[in-house]
């Protein structure tokens, strides 16, 4: 029985990821705070796809609980997907240290804490895969969201190093770099339709990329070109822009 661990399972993207993996015959551990809110989803997945779905409470920023949490998973998962994320308005983060710290801890520190534990187990068994949902916001610092962006930049770099470390042990690490996605977290934002992905489409792209052992996934794919252009702008020009 192969289990996939989805961390931050209440997000729109995570729910769609759960559906895709269940449809393809994987059992699921769905984690998060107040995870009981996914009871109906778990029941539906069990009936619809004849898989086992277990709900597990996990606070991504309660670092001291992570080791015990993972040790209690039986059987151990063959893959881990980190979808947990947090974003508030940049101006609020600038004025409120608690908001800045929560942004950093959810998007980076907490993910590193749990993935260190998972990576050690996978490395010991020389098997497994890891998927981390980062963001194109981490590709270059912009005044509009540099607290959130810097936390994602740290996570992207962490995943790159983890991929380098685990490659020789046959463990794949996929970094997912979404652009705009139509989710609850972006609700109310005026997003360009042609550049905005649907959670269901993102989930399917993630599954296909993971199954193929890819390293990096931009979704939508157009974001690879967009970020290539943005990263190529000289700093003396970039610092004057509002993008």
User: In this structure, is residue 243 part of a structural domain?
Assistant: no
Tens digit of pLDDT per residue, the chain (243 long)?
Answer: 799 999 999 999 999 999 999 999 999 999 999 999 999 999 999 999 999 999 999 999 999 999 999 999 999 999 999 999 999 999 999 999 999 999 999 999 999 999 999 999 999 999 999 999 999 999 999 999 999 999 999 999 999 999 999 999 999 999 999 999 988 767 766 678 889 999 999 999 999 999 999 999 999 999 999 999 999 999 999 999 988
Per the listing, tokens 């996990």 go with: 58
> Is 94 contained in some domain?
yes
Instruction: Convert 177-209 to b/e letters by CB count within 10 Å (16 or more is b).
Output: bbbbbbbeeeeeeeeeeeebbebbebbbbbbeb
Residue 28 lies in a domain: yes
Segments forming the whole domain that contains residue 140: 3-238
Domain membership flag for residue 177: yes
Give a yes or no: residue 170 inside a domain: yes
Q: Residue 188: its pLDDT value, please?
A: 66
Cβ 151 vs Cβ 194: under 8 Å? no
Give me 160's structure tokens.
């790159």
Specify the pTM.
0.95
What pLDDT is attached to residue 136? 97
Predicted local distance difference test score (pLDDT) of residue 28: 98
Predicted pLDDT at 184:
75
Residue 59 and residue 53: Cα distance in Å, rounded? 19
- Contact of 1 with 26, CB cutoff 8 Å: no
CA distance 90 to 232: 24
Q: Which helix (H) or strand (E) holds 173?
A: strand 172-178
The CATH number for 233's domain is: 3.40.50.720
Q: Answer whether residue 210 is part of any domain.
A: yes
pLDDT at 14 (0 to 100)? 97
Burial of 122 (0-12, 13-18, 19+ CB in 10 A): buried
- What is the tally of structural domains in the chain? 1
Do residues 65 and 31 make contact, with C-beta atoms less than 8 angstroms apart? no
Is 214 inside a domain boundary? yes
> Which residues are bridge partners to 64 per DSSP?
none
């Amino acid at each position: 029985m192969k289990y996939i661990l989805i961390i931050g399972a209440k997000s729109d993207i995570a729910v769609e990821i759960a559906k895709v993996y269940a449809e393809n015959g994987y059992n699921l551990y769905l984690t998060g705070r107040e995870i009981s809110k996914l009871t109906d989803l778990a029941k539906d997945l069990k009936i619809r796809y004849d898989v086992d779905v277990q709900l597990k409470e996990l606070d991504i920023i309660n670092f001291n609980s992570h080791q015990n949490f993972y040790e209690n998973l039986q059987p151990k998962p063959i893959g881990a997907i980190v979808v947990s994320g947090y974003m508030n308005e940049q101006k609020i983060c600038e004025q409120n240290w608690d908001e800045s710290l929560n942004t950093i801890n959810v998007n980076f520190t907490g993910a590193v804490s749990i993935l260190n534990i998972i990576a050690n187990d996978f490395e010991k068994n020389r098997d497994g895969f890891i998927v981390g949902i980062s963001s194109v916001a981490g590709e270059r610092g912009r005044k509009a969201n540099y607290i959130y962006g810097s936390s994602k930049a740290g996570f992207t770099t962490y995943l790159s190093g983890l991929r380098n470390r685990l490659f020789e042990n046959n463990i794949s690490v996929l970094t997912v770099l979404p652009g705009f996605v139509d989710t609850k977290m972006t609700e109310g934002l005026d997003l360009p339709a042609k550049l905005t992905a649907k959670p269901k489409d993102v989930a399917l792209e993630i599954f296909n990329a993971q199954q193929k052992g890819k390293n990096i996934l931009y979704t939508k794919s157009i974001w690879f070109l967009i970020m290539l252009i943005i990263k190529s702008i000289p700093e003396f020009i970039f610092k004057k822009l509002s993008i």
